Structure 1
């Protein structure tokens, strides 16, 4: 196995990687990565880990055999260590992931810095220092960003969008930007339910005839080609709900579309990533297929409000809790946005198990295979008094127990 070839291929696939060293850990390739922060800023990327994982490491993994796949990675906010001769210091690099985290730095003592830090403490358990990177050190994600933007606007009168934020993703940079532009200092408590209930200027586009056509064509085709088996459709409420399927392949949204009863399908919208369904090939399908496209790096709050609209109008929303397709059939981490929507609008969640689409259309393949596919709609789960985390975990465990 040529580790240098792996490094070069991943760098070609992902322009946001400046340095990469691949070593062998527990018998498998493991990548140490230093991002190209300047390129990331220029492209206004604020979900750095996701960009590197899915459009670098995982794209590479799709191309190679199991033994050559990168099984893990570590993203460093500092350049990778080198020897005096200028070569990468492999020994020092391998120690990066075990390096003791710095616990103190000189920091501003003024009220502004302390209120920002206090708020970030509600979103991250990590030690917060002036040099902390808000994503790579503190672990903030898209949902945290939206919450942070709203907090900053309400508390300091400063508007921050993704374009601005991509250039101030260190604690000290965020503080300096707010300090320069603030109008007042009034720390304000932010509630997700208030955010998601805000009005949205966008309108939902209903396409009942096209949805009927999709279903009419796809259902018999899938039954013939995939020997499609469907169970539990009777578990879908007649009232508004969130449909939460597992995600194994590009077929999954179409499988849901084909198997929902038309009376439900015509009132159902699908949440999808713009990076995939905003492309030339898929955009016409999304545009006329009652899809709501979101971009993880642009207009996050507006996208979330738009995703909330079907539920506000007592319709249904299909959202994949994993947020991405599994690469090994194992469930990915469930992101809590679907649980937030469920609690905000007090609607049940219908978990769905999709089994077989992983084999029918593996990631990276274009043409499907005639493998058997099963869909099982489980009984609805109501939000009741659960927290977002409790509801998220319950949906995942319910799916896992039924698989």
Structure 2
């Protein structure tokens, strides 16, 4: 357990290397900074670094107890820990100095401070040795991460640590002297403390520090020839998602993945996916996973890619291992078998453990110690079962939701199911409120934008939550959900802090009430513009989409306003990248090239020069249209009325949107000459391959890039300026329920600025024939297409024009 001189490299950070001789000398030097008398405990409050290692072992050299503290802790948390266990000394760094000093000011006892960045001592050349330690003595006190809100000091003996070391070195040869282990997770937690520092250094391995958890730093660190990665499920999930996304973009890669999946051979997979292996440094022997249960599909995918994942189960109170997977015996879904020296069983569904790995107790918490340690058995709070001596985790006892009808629900199962249904949800947390399931969702707006999704909330509501609810029993349905602007609260090992989920909305409201309003001019002007646009109160912390509900047109308006008034040009995607209004205002302040206040002039925008080659109709265009009309009249009972209301062009056809075939339902009633003069538009994501592009080019279809709505609007304006007609669905998307949705004002802007009439079109019956989510239309359904009297734009604003068109369509639909 203690350090020995293996005459080789011990620590690496980028191009810095420290061998075991220097490591031991540095530890000895650090120990001279500690008092010789009356030393019982020493805290370490710093980020991962070489000096963290020196400080840790120097405390053991003094036969004192180490108390690691999360370097991202608040002053309140640090002072709580220091007041609780009262260490005589604290190591800290420049990075934690401010918090440390604030915490110390709240202490009830004196404490000596040592700044790791200010230590200036010569490296000791004395042949240092570690004193003999009594196995029953306390080695470390680890404060739990507090997923339940109440951190406790877990006292671990030297024997607790030793049994964990022996389990993966002498009992099962996981760690060897030639191994290089990546130090990625924060060392204040027992899992990385043991897995990435104490165990590898005890056998003469090399530990390699990643400068941060950024993907670039991780990939660069892996190139040092890392053989063992220690990670948590969320880390492995994120890496796997990135790899799968790349594989799914290539037909050949997808085929190879399926072949490797069926072959189920690590050797075969490592050859097939050699490029993936090389990106991980090409030397990976094991990926060790702990901290929470790993989804079995994630485990399977890594095996298919040629990586062996050794999943373990444990807790801080067991230093940390209770079970772990033996090399060559991976079973996805299982966290392995117990250590040789401990007993594991299941009592009333709860996993309990007894053996040398069980903690001494919670520091100064005899009642809480008694609650978890009963008759020598440690009650883990985890639910699961044993099969053939393998443990399978099914959930946390405290996290299981119990409804008033007695039904038990594991929220993680629901979260995994919902998240698997879409890439647009980054995180989801499910909790119970008023005997119903609620969810808080942190969306991926960049992904949504890439997929052409304008209204993220509506998409999640209907395409994810509604579909999920239809597939499960009633008590598992999610009845309410809300979108949040920040990632879900997690511990430093990325465990979800479930106890905070119900409070997220309240916390958000409190932040609004207590926020200080910025006074700089750019913020004031931006706030006034947004208040005018959305007719609502604007707060500095408001998210452009979640709080203000800016749609694509709103963002185009905002982009035009910023360019006209500040000389700052931002794309729609860049606008969404700002977390809130004040951050956008700060960017404007820093990058503006001018400052003026002008109203948005769409007329001027539509006059900007635009190169647009209009698609020309093939001779087959009307043949296909007329053939479709015959087919639709047979398949459906389709009828068109009001064709006499169509004026001379140019004009805008504005139908409500009930089904995927609505454009065709309108088109088949247009006369051949009029059809040639009428243009449709399609989203770029629907016209990807060369055949569809050719079809669009020969059938009056203009392909629009919805990530650049300004240019799309300019294209539509150009069509109208050339005397042609266009069809625009003002709702922007198909109805989810059969009811007419709110009209967007894009068509009204075009009509008002170019002075072209709008023909409202009321489509009824199409939703019944082909509701959203179905793939095959129902025959014999009655469908009516009514062309209403044109509406002229004179004497109308954008909004009044939008509203009158929507009201005319609604009136006609209500007659049916």
TM-score, normalization: structure 1?
0.86
Would you say 1:215 and 2:625 are equivalent positions? yes
Whether the 8 Å CA contact 1:147–1:192 is kept in 2: the answer is no
Would you say 1:92 and 2:502 are equivalent positions? yes
Whether the 8 Å CA contact 2:566–2:596 is kept in 1: the answer is yes
Q: Which moved more, 1:138-147 or 1:46-55?
A: 46-55
Q: 1:229 aligns with which of 633, 639, 644?
A: 639
Distance across 1 between alignment mates of 2:605 and 2:736: 33
Q: 1:361 aligns with which of 751, 757, 770?
A: 770
- Who is 2:416 aligned against? 8
1:308-387 equivalent positions in 2, closer than 5 A: 308-370=717-779, 371-387=781-797
Is the partner of 2:807 in helix, strand or coil? helix
Would you say 1:273 and 2:683 are equivalent positions? yes
Distance across 2 between alignment mates of 1:86 and 1:13: 20
Indicate the structure whose relative CO is greater, using CA pairs within 8 Å and at least 6 residues apart: 1
Distance across 2 between alignment mates of 1:154 and 1:71: 44
- Who is 2:802 aligned against? 392
Whether the 8 Å CA contact 2:533–2:554 is kept in 1: the answer is yes
Unpaired runs of 5+ residues, structure 1, are none
Distance across 1 between alignment mates of 2:800 and 2:433: 34
Would you say 1:58 and 2:463 are equivalent positions? yes
Whether the 8 Å CA contact 2:424–2:447 is kept in 1: the answer is no
* 1:219 to partner: Cα distance: 0.7
Q: Which moved more, 1:169-178 or 1:104-113?
A: 104-113
* 1:268 to partner: Cα distance: 0.4
Distance across 2 between alignment mates of 1:282 and 1:97: 49
- Who is 2:523 aligned against? 113
TM-score, normalization: structure 2?
0.45
* 1:14 to partner: Cα distance: 2.2
1:237-256 equivalent positions in 2, closer than 5 A: 237-256=647-666
Residue-by-residue CA offset, 1:216-235 (whole Å, 9 max, x unaligned) = 22110111111221111111
Q: Which moved more, 1:90-99 or 1:169-178?
A: 90-99
Residue-by-residue CA offset, 1:184-219 (whole Å, 9 max, x unaligned) = 222222223322333322221121524212212211
Q: Give the direction of change, closer, same or farther, for the CA distance of 1:48–1:274 in structure 2 (3 Å limit).
A: closer
Larger Rg: 2
Distance across 1 between alignment mates of 2:786 and 2:440: 40
Would you say 1:260 and 2:670 are equivalent positions? yes
* 1:112 to partner: Cα distance: 2.8
Whether the 8 Å CA contact 1:230–1:259 is kept in 2: the answer is yes
Unpaired runs of 5+ residues, structure 2, are 1-406
Residue-by-residue CA offset, 1:287-311 (whole Å, 9 max, x unaligned) = 3321223343x22211111121221
Q: Give the direction of change, closer, same or farther, for the CA distance of 1:234–1:250 in structure 2 (3 Å limit).
A: same
Is the partner of 1:293 in helix, strand or coil? strand
Distance across 1 between alignment mates of 2:434 and 2:735: 22
Q: Give the direction of change, closer, same or farther, for the CA distance of 1:63–1:136 in structure 2 (3 Å limit).
A: closer
Whether the 8 Å CA contact 1:126–1:137 is kept in 2: the answer is no
Distance across 2 between alignment mates of 1:43 and 1:186: 33
Distance across 2 between alignment mates of 1:113 and 1:401: 43
Distance across 2 between alignment mates of 1:94 and 1:181: 34
Q: 1:182 aligns with which of 589, 592, 597?
A: 592
Would you say 1:289 and 2:699 are equivalent positions? yes
Is the partner of 2:803 in helix, strand or coil? helix
Distance across 1 between alignment mates of 2:507 and 2:641: 45
* 1:132 to partner: Cα distance: 2.0
- Who is 1:304 aligned against? 713
Q: Give the direction of change, closer, same or farther, for the CA distance of 1:367–1:398 in structure 2 (3 Å limit).
A: same
Q: Give the direction of change, closer, same or farther, for the CA distance of 1:209–1:361 in structure 2 (3 Å limit).
A: same
- Who is 2:512 aligned against? 102
Q: Give the direction of change, closer, same or farther, for the CA distance of 1:99–1:177 in structure 2 (3 Å limit).
A: closer
Residue correspondences, number: 399
